[in-house]
Amino acid sequence: MNDRSLPGLAAGYFADLGRSSVRGWNRFWFTPTDPATYCLIRILAGWMLFYTHLVWSIGLEDFFGDNAWLSVDVANSGIEATYNRTFFELIHSPTLLWCVHIFALVCMFCLTIGLFSRPAAFLTAFFTVQYANRVPGANFGLDQINTLLALYLCVGACGACYSMDRLIARWRDKAPAEVPPSVGANIGIRLIQLHMCVVYLFAGIGKTGVTWWNGDAMWLSVASYEYQSLDMTWLAHWPITLALMTHVSIWWEMTYCVLVWPRITRPIMVALAVPLHLGIAVFLGMITFGYIMIVGNVAFVSPWLVRRIVDRKRKPSVPEVAKRERPARRKPRQAVAAGK
């Protein structure tokens, strides 16, 4: 860049910014990755999707039948979104309702164990949305995270590993010994990561009430009789502890979308998710919600760490992998300019 005038510098800056952004975008979205993390999320989220819908079985007709808690009119009333229709409003026979329900459970179970993974993923996402649309008044955070995970498991080959599909393919000798890196798995993981950032960002900045800033919010949470599952009211004598928990929660949520990306702060942010969501699970009785939020955070765990834990496999040495996969190093600019 020889033009040293101010417009020339600005033009050079923006050209460089554009090129870097495109390079960064491509690297972020289109770098093939080991699908280990993605497939682990399939198992963890698949199990919760299966369990969530299995629990509907207890009150299936109470929630999805003709005379349900929420009539179809209420479920579709103006206070709900216009496009949230569901096929359940067409089902009037209890027998048919149970048949559909059992089929949905089979799909979710197949997704969990990785049998016919791709169709199971699409069907699970479809059913998850349909169930949620029928009972908007009974939904909560669990259903929101369930839905987003089910949707993003449709993006890539979620049954590429840790699945019955892979076992069967290996048994038929039709699968390579090592699972190839996948662009689809990378896009799926990236979407989960970004969506989790949006969730935490708005969960954090939405907490504008006084109690989140005077330290009382955690007290209100643990002292709510309807929510609590363990008596934590002894914390009333520990105001500083309560305030600290409150402040850490809100600052963690608000900064998550920034600090979870740098390699140096990521382990701290993801590690903090565990006690925070375990607290919700154990003390507020929302085990399912706490669990699924932790599953969402798994998207930030590197595939090699997943391999190391699940497969008990050591991280491959760089030179060994590089021999097979590393592209040729770019020459330094000076060398290029000198024609070396």
Partner 1 sequence: MSQQSTDNVTPEAPAWLTPKIKILISVGLGFHLLAVFLPPFALVPSPMTGPVKDATDWYTGPLRIQNGYRFFSPDPPFVSMVMRYEIDLPNGETLEGVFPNRETYWPRLYYHRHLMLTSRLQSLGFSSIEFGLGNKKPIINDGSPGSTWVVQRIENGEYEDADQIPDEDYQIDPQDIPEYMRGEPLDRVDTRTYVDSYARHLMHKHDAQRVRLYLLEHAVPSRLLMIEEDVELDAPESYRESLLIDLSREEL
Is the Cβ of residue 9 or residue 268 nearer to partner 1 in the bound state? 268
| Cα(136)–Cα(150) distance, integer angstroms | 18
Q: Could you say whether residue 186 binds partner 1 (CB under 8 A)?
A: yes
Looking at 43, 97, 122, 141, which residue binds partner 1 (CB under 8 A)?
Answer: 141
Taking residues 258 to 297 in sequence order and writing x for each that binds partner 1 by CB under 8 A, - otherwise, the string is -----x--xx--x--------------xxxx---------
- As a whole number of angstroms, the distance between CA 37 and CA 22 comes to 26
Q: How far apart are CA 323 and CA 328, in angstroms?
A: 10
Which residues share a beta bridge with 33?
182
Pair of tokens at residue 79: 């206070």
The residue (of 100 and 265) whose beta carbon lies closer to partner 1 is 265
- Phi-psi region for residue 233, left (φ > 0), alpha (ψ -120 to 50) or beta? alpha
Q: How far apart are CA 147 and CA 157, in angstroms?
A: 18
* CB closer to partner 1 out of 107 and 242: 242
Query: Binders of partner 1 among 221-240, rule CB under 8 A?
Result: 221, 223-229, 233, 236-237, 239
Candidates 39-47, 95-103, 140-148, 171-179; binding stretch for partner 1 (CB under 8 A): 140-148
What the block records as the tokens of 318 is 């760089």
Among 107, 179, 272, 301, binds partner 1 (CB under 8 A): 301
* Of 167 and 302, CB closest to partner 1: 302
Chain residues 60-119 in contact with partner 1, contact rule CB under 8 A: 62-63, 67-71, 73-74, 77, 79, 81-84
Q: CA triplet 229, 233, 237: central angle to 5 degrees?
A: 155
Per-residue mark of binding to partner 1, 24-43 (x: CB under 8 A): -xxx-xxxxxx--x------
The pair of three-digit structure tokens given for residue 222, joined into one six-digit string: 């643990």
Stretch that binds partner 1, among 11-19, 103-111, 170-178, 314-322 (CB under 8 A): 314-322
Cβ nearer to partner 1, comparing 97 with 270 = 270
Q: Of 314, 328, 307, nearest to 33 (Cα)?
A: 307
User: C-alpha angle with apex 234: 229 to 235, nearest 5 degrees?
Assistant: 90
Contact stretch for partner 1 (CB under 8 A) within 39-47, 100-108, 126-134, 159-167: 126-134
For the CB of residue 312, give the shortest distance to partner 1 in the complex, in Å: 18
Q: How many CB atoms lie within 10 A of CB 57?
A: 11
Contact of 212 with 246, CB cutoff 8 Å = yes
Q: Closest by alpha carbon to 127, among 87, 168, 78? A: 87
| DSSP helix/strand/coil, 319 | helix
* From 107-115, 156-164, 169-177, 189-197, span contacting partner 1 (CB under 8 A): 189-197
310 binds partner 1 (CB under 8 A): no
- Using CB under 8 A, which of 43, 60, 175, 203 touches partner 1? 203
The site that binds partner 1 (CB under 8 A) totals a number of residues, namely 107
